[in-house]
Amino acid sequence: MSSTFAGVYKALSGIQTSQLQLQVTGQNMTNVSTNGYTRQRADVYSVGSSGNNMRYASTTAAVGAGVMATGVSQLRDPYLDIRFRSENAKVGDTTTQLSAMSDIENVLDEVKTDGLEAQMKALVSQLQNLCEDAGNGVSESTVKTSASILVNMFNNYSEQLSSIRNQQKGYLKDNAVNKVNQLIGNISHLSEEIRMSEISGSSALELEDQRNSMLDELSQYVNIEIQKNSVDIGSGRTVDELSVYLVGASGTKHTLINNEEYAKFGFGMGTSATTGKECVNVTLTDLSGSTKTINSELSTGVFHGYLKILNENGEYDAGFAVIDPVSYNPTGETSSASGHGIGYYQLSLDTLAQKLAAVMNAANSTNTENKPLFASSVAGEQITASNIALSSQWENSTGAYITTTKQPSGVEDNSKATDNILAMIKEFSTDIDFQTENGVSLFTGTFQEFVTNLSNTLGLEQGNISSQNNTYSTTLATIDKQRLSVSSVDINEEGINLIMYNQAMTAACRFMTTLDESLDNVISKMGIVGR
């Protein structure tokens, strides 16, 4: 037999629960356009009748005791989150590479603007013109001017590529590494707050949404894995603790965040132990305080994109004896070619400048006289694209300097013969084998074909990375759509819920008034006989 006022409590529970549900619906509706918001639901259970009496069975019918809301929860699919984050890393990686490549393309592309290859064509044209008037210092001055423009162009290209490299370094250091450290710090603090709040009973759903957004952003930079451990805090309640790991290429997990403790990324410059070339290092200071370089562990994400652009020199990395970066001992293997970063294009231009200078200088020098056409503007340094210049002998010569002929002649003056000029012109259509310093073959073709080959290699790679980027972006968008399908707010649904909860509230209130009337009958109208 239930108590007199038991029904009132039932009605009260109904009203309170409906109110809560309306509040939750309101919360959903006001956040319909908030990015990253997950729709919430009140967890509502019907309450059963009170438990068994140990001593004797009850003969009356048992009725439930109303409705109870145990809490508010989010509707989210964590598996979709995992898939989203792993795809996001790939998108970050390809987007970073594309943006750097598009900068390089602006320097190397000659489809619409005249660049290095066009200037080489101009030099050949001037040499053709010189055949008409060989041996004349005045006619030669047009060739000198053309050559001067050519070396300036080499210097220019080299400078622009250097500045792109510095820019990318800056982005990595200031934008990527700092941003990631910021994110890691924030996620860690948020996790702490969420944990505290869960311990004290409220579920901090909005903070969880914030943390999820930050984790999404972090996943763009590095390849992360998230683990939630349930920790028992007594009286049968558990709280989730969040750990974030960096999954390395070898499969090793490096802890990035463990509750309120977190690791820090760093940036450093160094040289590769194997190739001796300049390289950029991303370091990780882990929870115990020790710092180490983790370049090889970053296999995807924005960091990997920057590392590839800055550290990989293509065929120029091949042919070295591999040296273990930790123990500094040779491993006995020979390095192979890596991807084509900025270094590949810079070093290719250097190789071209050296080869061009060597061939032209040899063509102009006789067996008695060394008459170089090109030289390094920095004494003692090998010729590179940044220091190639006209030789001081050519610059300062007032008369004819170009050797027009190498035929012996009985007469004093045979400078109008053009065989050497034609030989020089022929050099521009002769196939040359371009190699790296280790003898790794780069390309076989003429000087001009080498230049266009650089531009084409870049174009092909860009096309490749661009289509990868498109694929990953499309997949990312699909996964995001599925995520939204599960967790975003549908106005129509909330509208229907409004009506439903309103009705429920009205019903509960009506029940209350009904009870009030019936009790009124019992209290006020029963037992008034004989008054």
Site for other proteins (CB under 8 A): which residue of 499, 526, 528, 529? 499
* 415 scored as a contact of other proteins (CB under 8 A): yes
Which residue, among 39, 79, 209, has the nearest Cα to 479 in the 3D structure?
A: 79
Nearer Cβ to other proteins (266/372): 372
User: Residue 464, SS3?
Assistant: helix
Which residue, among 138, 436, 96, has the nearest Cα to 298 in the 3D structure?
A: 96
Provide the minimum distance between the beta carbon of 413 and other proteins in the complex, in angstroms, as a whole number.
Answer: 5
Which residue, among 172, 95, 176, has the nearest Cα to 465 in the 3D structure?
A: 95
* 409 scored as a contact of other proteins (CB under 8 A): yes
* 121 scored as a contact of other proteins (CB under 8 A): yes
* 83 scored as a contact of other proteins (CB under 8 A): no
Contact at 8 Å (CB) between 469 and 91? yes
Residues of span 196-255 touching other proteins by CB under 8 A = none
In total, the chain counts a number of residues equal to: 531
* 6 scored as a contact of other proteins (CB under 8 A): no
Nearer Cβ to other proteins (228/426): 426
Residue 200: count of CB within 10 angstroms of its CB? 8
Provide the minimum distance between the beta carbon of 210 and other proteins in the complex, in angstroms, as a whole number.
Answer: 18
398's CB contacts (< 8 A; 6+ apart) are: 137
* 399 scored as a contact of other proteins (CB under 8 A): no
For tokens 């929860």, name the residue: 73
Nearer Cβ to other proteins (217/317): 217
Site for other proteins (CB under 8 A): which residue of 490, 516, 517, 520? 490
518's CB contacts (< 8 A; 6+ apart) are: none
Nearer Cβ to other proteins (134/318): 134
Site for other proteins (CB under 8 A): which residue of 81, 117, 315, 350? 117
* Segment lying near other proteins (by CB under 8 A), choices 98-106, 202-210, 320-328, 436-444: 98-106
* 99 scored as a contact of other proteins (CB under 8 A): no
Nearer Cβ to other proteins (67/164): 164
Site for other proteins (CB under 8 A): which residue of 23, 77, 105, 254? 105
Tokens of 471: 């694929």
Strand-pair partners of 445:
432
Which residue, among 91, 53, 47, 82, has the nearest Cα to 66 in the 3D structure?
A: 47
Site for other proteins (CB under 8 A): which residue of 492, 524, 526, 531? 492
Contact at 8 Å (CB) between 363 and 420? yes
* 379 scored as a contact of other proteins (CB under 8 A): no
* Segment lying near other proteins (by CB under 8 A), choices 53-61, 168-176, 353-361, 363-371: 363-371
Nearer Cβ to other proteins (130/218): 130
First to last CA, the chain: 30
Site for other proteins (CB under 8 A): which residue of 197, 414, 435, 438? 414
Which residue, among 136, 118, 145, has the nearest Cα to 421 in the 3D structure?
A: 136
* Segment lying near other proteins (by CB under 8 A), choices 81-89, 99-107, 157-165, 343-351: 99-107
C-alpha atoms less than 13 angstroms from C-alpha of 377 in its C-beta half-sphere: 13
Site for other proteins (CB under 8 A): which residue of 481, 514, 518, 523? 481
Nearer Cβ to other proteins (77/193): 77
* 419 scored as a contact of other proteins (CB under 8 A): yes
Provide the minimum distance between the beta carbon of 521 and other proteins in the complex, in angstroms, as a whole number.
Answer: 36
* Segment lying near other proteins (by CB under 8 A), choices 62-70, 107-115, 281-289, 520-528: 107-115
* 496 scored as a contact of other proteins (CB under 8 A): yes
Nearer Cβ to other proteins (273/422): 422
Residues of span 124-183 touching other proteins by CB under 8 A = 124-125, 128-129, 131-136
* 398 scored as a contact of other proteins (CB under 8 A): no
How deeply is 60 buried, as exposed, middle or buried, from its count of CB atoms within 10 A (0-12, 13-18, 19+)? exposed
What amino acid is encoded at 98 in this protein? L
Residue 385: count of CB within 10 angstroms of its CB? 27
Q: How far apart are CA 11 and CA 495, in angstroms?
A: 24
The enclosing H or E element of 175 equals none
Provide the minimum distance between the beta carbon of 148 and other proteins in the complex, in angstroms, as a whole number.
Answer: 20
* 362 scored as a contact of other proteins (CB under 8 A): no
Q: How far apart are CA 292 and CA 266, in angstroms?
A: 9
The enclosing H or E element of 374 equals strand 374-376
* 498 scored as a contact of other proteins (CB under 8 A): yes
Provide the minimum distance between the beta carbon of 359 and other proteins in the complex, in angstroms, as a whole number.
Answer: 13
Residue 56: count of CB within 10 angstroms of its CB? 6
* Segment lying near other proteins (by CB under 8 A), choices 121-129, 167-175, 194-202, 230-238: 121-129
CA 1 to chain CA centroid, nearest Å: 68
**Phi/psi of residue 378, nearest 5 degrees:** -110, 115
* 366 scored as a contact of other proteins (CB under 8 A): yes
Residues of span 422-451 touching other proteins by CB under 8 A = 422-423, 425-426, 429, 448
The enclosing H or E element of 45 equals strand 40-47
How deeply is 356 buried, as exposed, middle or buried, from its count of CB atoms within 10 A (0-12, 13-18, 19+)? buried
Nearer Cβ to other proteins (140/241): 140
